[in-house]
């Protein structure tokens, strides 16, 4: 989404920019409502970790009831790794993309940054370079994030992962709801 918005801002697609700026209040309302819904769902949803840990067919089940026994670390060959389908990954990708695209502040930020850097519609090479930089920065960020998760994945026990999941869904659900309320308030 950052690459797409960077391209819109850099190449001066005025029809799209004008639409987003013209309907920014409605987009903020829609984005704010979506953020509130997403935050509430995150806050209330226990996720699949609880049901996975309680499953009798799972060899890692019930690590919380055996505190004296060490828990097995989650590995790439664990039963949890094979449960994520391609459809679930695509659904996660599309919902995240929609959430990012629903934020008109992103396009306005890119327009302001590019204007401040003196990028104009006639500077085609500068625009291509900037779009490539935005896209590369997003890719680098996700590479670092995914690498960090992959590194920690083998070092977390199911019990620790479960506790982290319970804690983080409350914290991040509350933060997302807060951002939704701010987006709604800014639209009014």
What are the domain boundaries of the chain? 2-63+70-187
Residue bearing tokens 């709604």: 184
Q: What spatial distance separates the first Cα and last Cα of the chain, rounded to whole Å?
A: 26
144: pLDDT strictly greater than 90: yes
Q: What is the pLDDT of residue 84?
A: 67
Q: Is the confidence at residue 8, as pLDDT, over 80? A: no
Gap between the Cα atoms of 100 and 144, Å rounded: 19
- The predicted-structure confidence for 58-77, as pLDDT tens digits, reads as follows 444 444 444 444 444 444 45
pTM of the model: 0.48
DSSP string, 46-109: -TTHHHHHH-TT-TT--GGG-TTSPPPPP-TTSTTGGG--HHHHHHHHHHHHHHHHT-HHHHHH
């Amino acid at each position: 989404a950052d690459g797409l918005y960077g391209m819109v801002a850099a190449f001066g697609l005025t029809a799209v920019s004008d639409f987003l700026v013209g309907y920014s209040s409605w987009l903020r309302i829609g984005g704010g409502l979506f953020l509130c819904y997403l935050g509430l769902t995150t806050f209330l949803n226990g996720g699949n970790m609880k049901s996975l840990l309680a499953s009798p067919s799972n060899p890692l089940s019930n690590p919380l009831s055996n505190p004296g026994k060490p828990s097995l670390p989650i590995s790439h060959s664990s039963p949890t790794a094979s449960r994520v389908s391609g459809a679930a990954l695509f659904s996660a990708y599309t919902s995240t993309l929609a959430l990012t695209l629903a934020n008109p502040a992103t396009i306005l930020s890119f327009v302001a940054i590019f204007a401040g850097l003196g990028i104009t519609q006639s500077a085609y090479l500068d625009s291509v370079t900037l779009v490539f930089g935005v896209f590369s920065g997003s890719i680098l960020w996700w590479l670092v994030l995914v690498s960090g998760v992959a590194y920690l994945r083998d070092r977390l026990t199911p019990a620790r992962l479960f506790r982290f999941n319970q804690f983080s869904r409350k914290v991040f659900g509350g933060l997302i709801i807060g951002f939704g309320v701010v987006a709604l308030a800014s639209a009014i």
